[in-house]
Amino acid sequence: MPRAVRRRLPLLDDRGAVAAELAVALPAVLLVVALGIAGLGASARQVQLQDAAADAARLLARGEGHGRAAGVAAAVDGALSVAHEGDLVCATVAATVRLGGAALPLSASSCALAGGV
């Protein structure tokens, strides 16, 4: 191999390429992981709101006071709204979740037969 070609070969060496690619890709990977974790947290929060709405609707349908149902919603840091639709008592619990710096409104509704057990 001629001497001129041998001198240029070290410039074509791939040493350090993996470290450079990792440095470029790592912030994107961390962002995706962080958003995934935040999404799981929002999903868990939605389940809490749904459980609170179901409990509040059952309490109101049995004739318990509005204060007790509001306490169930407050336990999950949610706001309670109640609607009567015929024989049904419907409760909606709403809250806001922070997802990556943005506020995401969540709500859950549940209905129960009025006068039920």
Please give the model's pTM, rounded to 2 decimal places.
0.75
- pLDDT number for residue 55: 96
Check: CB of residue 97 under 8 Å from CB of residue 42.
Answer: yes
Tell me the CB-side half-sphere exposure of residue 102, using CA atoms within 13 A: 7
- pLDDT number for residue 111: 96
User: In this predicted model, what pLDDT tens digit does every residue of 86-107 receive, in sequence order?
Assistant: 999 999 999 999 877 789 999 9
